Amino acid sequence: MLKEKNTAVIVLTPAAKEIALKLKAEYRHLDLYLPAKLDKENENSFSFTSLSSLAAKIFKEYDALIFIMALGIVVRIIAPLLESKKSDPAVLTVDDTAQNVISTLSGHLGGANQLTAEIAEFLKARPVITTATDCNNQLAVDLLAQRLDCKIKPFCRLKKANGALLFGRDLHIFSDYKIKIEADDRIKIYSLEQLPEIRNSQAFEVIISNQKFNLQENQLQLIPRNIVLGIGCRKNTAAADIRSALDSLLAELNLLRASIKKIATIDLKKEEAGIRELAAENSWPLEIVPVEEIKEIEADLEIKKSDFVKKITGAAAAASPAAILASAAGKLIVDKKKYEGITLSVFEEEVTDE
């Protein structure tokens, strides 16, 4: 996991520097920060004169920060920089004898707990993890959301969801996706269609779905980003028109906007300002699919095809094949929905943690 993180290692003492160099030898992508008095030329490191100034500067630049020093120093240094568990980086503290690796901040969403276990194993140190769900060997809803690439709604109820089992409440999970969750006397797994009949105000309920629900006080939803939207349109179609068409389609399908993973369109439309604007304003990746790739597979696709579209683009369909080719395993749930000068297709990827 550490190899996937943009990570900084910060040290204060010569002993800590030796530990950092050991980490750097194994994980070459790490950025190493040393006090000016310890920094030497050609050591592939950065120097600093003020630890507090350095922390303020780099706190949001990295996915993870590893401080090799006393925990008390780290707490004082990062305290003014904290904003939200949704955005704060993972912070780990390693003592300068490498006996303990302490998950200090963002244990779940930031990945600090996993990093702590990994680094402790590498250094042959003791991992120190204090989050209640881990200590009690309980399911953590935020880790489940991270595993499935889901948005948590509303985020303010996450604490209640994680605390349900800890405080004697049952946890009911409703989903139609193939995910690995071990049921027991306290954790029950149900399909979405069972939600109305199983409703239990004494349990906390987690709904895993891209559909819109009117959530109750004891419910939290995990929204998977598993919808790939295929778009075709006339030249110079305005973003507002595409947005309006999309809103209509989402309402018809009862799909949440947060479930959209990316947009796909054929290369002939790659410069369409309306499509690009829609992608940019929602921070959706825009995948451009070559028409030649569509032509290679269209004969095998059970989708609506058009001689007119073939005459214009060279392929008998555009939006649906683009969505299919831009997606992982799953199914096309809307082949071709036509609006004035706009065609939308919807592909739903499978949600799995296998």
* Measured distance CA(166)–CA(132) in Å, rounded: 8
Residue ending a domain, among 194, 224, 254, is 224
**pLDDT for the residue numbered 200:** 67
> Does 136 fall in a domain?
no
Examine the domain organization and report whether 7 and 126 are in the same domain.
yes
Examine the domain organization and report whether 179 and 266 are in the same domain.
no
Residues 296-336 have pLDDT tens digits of 877 777 778 776 777 777 676 788 889 999 998 899 999 98
Backbone dihedral angles phi then psi of residue 347, each to the nearest 5 degrees: -115, 130
Q: For residue 155, give both structure tokens.
A: 């985020």
**pLDDT for the residue numbered 4:** 66
> Does 354 fall in a domain?
no
Sheet with 260-266, edge to edge strand ranges: 286-289, 260-266, 227-233, 342-349, 330-339
Examine the domain organization and report whether 14 and 115 are in the same domain.
yes
Q: What is the mean pLDDT of residues 155-180?
A: 83
Give how many domains the chain has, as a whole number. 3
Examine the domain organization and report whether 157 and 220 are in the same domain.
yes
**pLDDT for the residue numbered 316:** 60
**pLDDT for the residue numbered 304:** 81
Mean pLDDT across the chain, nearest whole number? 86
**pLDDT for the residue numbered 135:** 47
**pLDDT for the residue numbered 41:** 56
Residues 6+ apart with CB under 8 A from 69: 10, 11, 12, 13, 16, 93, 95, 96
Range of the domain at 22: 2-130
Residues 6+ apart with CB under 8 A from 189: 173, 175, 181, 183
**pLDDT for the residue numbered 183:** 64
Q: For residue 29, give both structure tokens.
A: 């992508």
> Does 51 fall in a domain?
yes
Residue ending a domain, among 86, 104, 130, is 130
Q: What is the mean pLDDT of residues 235-241?
A: 93
Examine the domain organization and report whether 13 and 96 are in the same domain.
yes
Q: What is the largest CA-CA distance in the chain?
A: 73
Cα torsion for 293, 297, 301, 306, to the nearest 10°?
60
Q: For residue 179, give both structure tokens.
A: 């995910």
Q: Give the CATH number of the domain where residue 266 resides.
A: 3.30.420.180
Examine the domain organization and report whether 242 and 267 are in the same domain.
yes
> Alpha helices, DSSP H only, in the chain?
14-26, 51-58, 71-78, 112-123, 132-135, 141-148, 158-166, 195-198, 239-253, 273-281, 291-297, 307-313, 319-325
Examine the domain organization and report whether 146 and 42 are in the same domain.
no
Q: For residue 82, give both structure tokens.
A: 């904290």
> Are 148 and 209 a contacting pair, CB within 8 Å?
no
> Does 36 fall in a domain?
yes
**pLDDT for the residue numbered 107:** 64
> Does 320 fall in a domain?
yes
**Band of pLDDT at residue 67, cut at 50, 70 and 90:** very high
> Does 31 fall in a domain?
yes
- Lowest pLDDT segment from 36-50, 144-158, 214-228, 317-331: 36-50
Beta strand 204-208 with 150-153 is unpaired
Q: What is the mean pLDDT of residues 103-128?
A: 84
Backbone dihedral angles phi then psi of residue 48, each to the nearest 5 degrees: -145, 155
Q: What is the mean pLDDT of residues 71-83?
A: 92
Angle among Cα 181, 184, 188 to the nearest 5 degrees reads 65
Is residue 137 over pLDDT 70? Answer: no
**Band of pLDDT at residue 185, cut at 50, 70 and 90:** low
Examine the domain organization and report whether 294 and 345 are in the same domain.
yes
Backbone dihedral angles phi then psi of residue 235, each to the nearest 5 degrees: -60, 135
> Does 135 fall in a domain?
no
Examine the domain organization and report whether 331 and 287 are in the same domain.
yes
Residue ending a domain, among 209, 224, 239, is 224
Angle among Cα 129, 101, 43 to the nearest 5 degrees reads 145
Q: What is the mean pLDDT of residues 117-139?
A: 73
Residues 15-38 have pLDDT tens digits of 999 999 999 988 888 999 999 888
Examine the domain organization and report whether 246 and 208 are in the same domain.
no
pTM: 0.71
- Closest to 83 measured CA to CA, from 104, 113, 60: 60
- Closest to 86 measured CA to CA, from 25, 155, 132, 38: 155
Examine the domain organization and report whether 220 and 263 are in the same domain.
no
For the chain, percent of residues with pLDDT exceeding 90: 48
Is residue 39 over pLDDT 80? Answer: no
Q: Give the CATH number of the domain where residue 32 resides.
A: 3.40.50.11220
Examine the domain organization and report whether 157 and 217 are in the same domain.
yes
**Band of pLDDT at residue 255, cut at 50, 70 and 90:** very high
Which residue in this structure is represented by tokens 């906007």?
257
Q: For residue 225, give both structure tokens.
A: 């980003």
> Are 223 and 256 a contacting pair, CB within 8 Å?
yes
Is residue 42 over pLDDT 60? Answer: no
